[in-house]
Amino acid sequence: MAERCPSSLFKGKAALPGYRWQINERGVANIVATPQEPMHYVEGFLFSVNTADQRALDHSEGVQRGFYERKTLSVRLIPHRDGPFKTTYHAQKLRESRQMVWRMDQSAASNVEALIYVSSQYIEEGRIRPEYAVRMERAIADVLQMGIRQVYVRKYLAPFVRGPVMSPEDLKAMTLWQQRQQEQHQCSMRVILRRATRSQLDDPSHLYLREE
């Protein structure tokens, strides 16, 4: 978050009930609703973001490519006792001391609306991509230091992250498929500017943009 959204503020730990964490068929993380199993939940952290931060997140999460979409869901926030504070400061402190304690204020817990990126198109169970597994191992080390419970990591994250990885053949096929999806998207959003003569340039009504 410090790199993607340098203006964001770290607020505290949050829990999303009625959802569970997964690795989907694309080999990356997702959360899926569990209406038949309401005891499931997802633990994470809540950040305050501005419009520029949200645009950066939309881009990195592949919203326009259809990989994820934004949803507003109710989460249980347990704020940090010293927060909120800049995410860049939060990242610096994490680098400086792996032993620091992230103190959450249980007495100030409340339900809040949160913006969450969810894939409703890719919800099948899959195998994690090898390079993504490496990133997730680093992320697990960080979130444990920041206050996510070990029992949650062992039960809900580790089986996906440390389980079977996507084979090279499947990874290649997935990469080619994503490239085709991107090419189709670029074609569908191509903007065509009609060739204008000098006289037409004098009259803006002769210029138009069309999306195919």
CA distances from residue 204 to 70, 125, 199, 200, 211 in whole angstroms, order as listed? 37, 52, 10, 7, 18
3-state DSSP assignment of residue 4: coil
User: Hunting for tokens 């899926």 — which residue is that?
Assistant: 32
Q: Does residue 128 register a pLDDT over 60?
A: yes
More confident residue, 7 or 104: 7
What pLDDT score was predicted for residue 204?
41
Q: What's the whole-number average pLDDT of the chain?
A: 81
Q: List pLDDT tens digits, range 58-97.
A: 999 999 989 999 999 999 999 988 878 888 887 887 777 6
Q: List pLDDT tens digits, range 18-54.
A: 999 999 999 999 999 999 888 999 999 999 999 999 9
3-state DSSP assignment of residue 92: helix
Q: How many Å apart are CA 124 and CA 167, to the nearest integer?
A: 17
Span 171-199, average pLDDT: 54
What pLDDT score was predicted for residue 205?
38
What pLDDT score was predicted for residue 203?
44
Query: At 207, is the pLDDT very low, low, confident or very high (cuts 50, 70, 90)?
Result: very low
Q: Tell me what percent of the chain is helix, strand and coil, each rounded to the nearest 5.
A: 40, 30, 35
User: Hunting for tokens 């210029």 — which residue is that?
Assistant: 207
What pLDDT score was predicted for residue 183?
59
Query: At 13, is the pLDDT very low, low, confident or very high (cuts 50, 70, 90)?
Result: very high
Asked if residue 8 lies in contact with residue 48, where contact means CB atoms within 8 angstroms, the answer is yes
Q: Omega before 79 cis (within 30°)?
A: no
Q: Which distant-in-sequence residues (6+ apart) come within 8 Å of 2 by Cβ?
A: 8, 87, 88, 90, 91
> How large a percentage of the chain has pLDDT more than 90?
50
Point out the least confidently predicted range of 7-16, 62-71, 139-148, 183-192. 183-192
**What tokens were used for 36?**
């038949």
Q: How many Å apart are CA 157 and CA 120, to the nearest integer?
A: 20
- Rounded to 10 deg, the angle between the 130-146 and 87-96 helix axes is 90
CA distances from residue 1 to 6, 43, 49, 132, 152 in whole angstroms, order as listed? 7, 16, 10, 17, 22
What pLDDT score was predicted for residue 170?
63
Point out the least confidently predicted range of 23-27, 103-107, 181-185. 181-185
All domains in the chain, ordered by first residue: 9-161 (3.10.490.10), 168-211 (no CATH)
Asked if residue 70 lies in contact with residue 59, where contact means CB atoms within 8 angstroms, the answer is no
More confident residue, 99 or 209: 99
Q: Does residue 194 register a pLDDT over 50?
A: no
